[in-house]
Amino acid sequence: MFLDPRILIMFGANALLLYLSLLVNSALSSWSLYLVLLGPMLVLPAIFLRHRSYLLCILLTGLWVDAELPCQFGLLTLGFLTAGACIFQIRFRFRAEHNYHPIILSHSCNLFCIALISIATGFEYLSVSSFWIQILITTVLSHGLLTIVAPWFFDLQRLLFELCRLETEPEDFPIL
């Protein structure tokens, strides 16, 4: 098949995760708390899909996130492609059938996204202490929640693959 049909499920799940995280952020605004849960979005596409499908899924997800968040348009698309390329390069090393490796990858990607947004959006405030306090709170809270959200998110995607009778294993299974 020219394109893997799983990209629809992965993109849909990514859009759902973003929508839910923004709903929670809206509710948490009175405590000045914010969550960044972008890391899990690019892990399974980079591990599961062939390059053409992976690229389309990541590109669509990146543009979707860029349109939702008030940062410079294209920033997170570029960030997703960069992080995705790094994972794609070494994807043979990861065990995709369990959640352990994807969770670690999602934490790394999330940290990368937080760093990218901080540098691109708040470069002029890097010397302001309250900026760093806010970033620290956001990072701790996001990664704390990610330990619960990431396994649920990956299991949800696998469940949807099963329900739609699609392949539940990566295209290029790692050589053991």
Partner 1 sequence: MAKLRLDKLKPLVALGVFLIAWWIVPPVIKSFLKISFTEFQAPSWVVSSYLEDLQGFWARRSHSKIELIEAGRELARKKAYYQYIAQRNESLEAEVDRLESILHMPTRREFRYEVARVVRRDLSAWWQQIIIRKGRDYNIPEGAAVIFSSGVVGRVVEVNAFTSRIELVTSPNFRMAATFETDGRPVIYQGVVQSGFGRATGSVNDAPQDIIANSQAPLKLVSTSLGGTFPPGLTIGSVSWLEPGSTGIFQAGEVTLDERLLSLHEVSVLIPLNPLEPNNDVP
Which chain residues interact with partner 1 by CB under 8 A?
19, 22-23, 25-26, 29-34, 51, 54-55, 59, 63-64, 66-71, 73-74, 77-78, 81-82, 84-85, 88-89, 117-118, 121-122, 125, 128, 130-131, 133-135, 137-138
Question: Residue 112: what residue type?
Answer: F
Nearer to partner 1, 124 or 165 (CB): 124
- Structure token pair of residue 52: 């053409």
Rounded Cα distance between 43 and 70, Å, is 23
To partner 1, the closest distance from the beta carbon of 153 in angstroms equals 19
Which residue in the block uniquely carries the two structure tokens 């649920």? 152
Nearer to partner 1, 77 or 110 (CB): 77
Nearer to partner 1, 88 or 153 (CB): 88
Report whether 149 contacts 141 (CB < 8 A): no
To partner 1, the closest distance from the beta carbon of 28 in angstroms equals 9
Sign of dihedral through CA atoms 86, 90, 93, 94?
Answer: positive
To partner 1, the closest distance from the beta carbon of 128 in angstroms equals 5
Contact partners, residue 3, CB within 8 Å, separation at least 6: 52, 53, 56
Nearer to partner 1, 25 or 151 (CB): 25
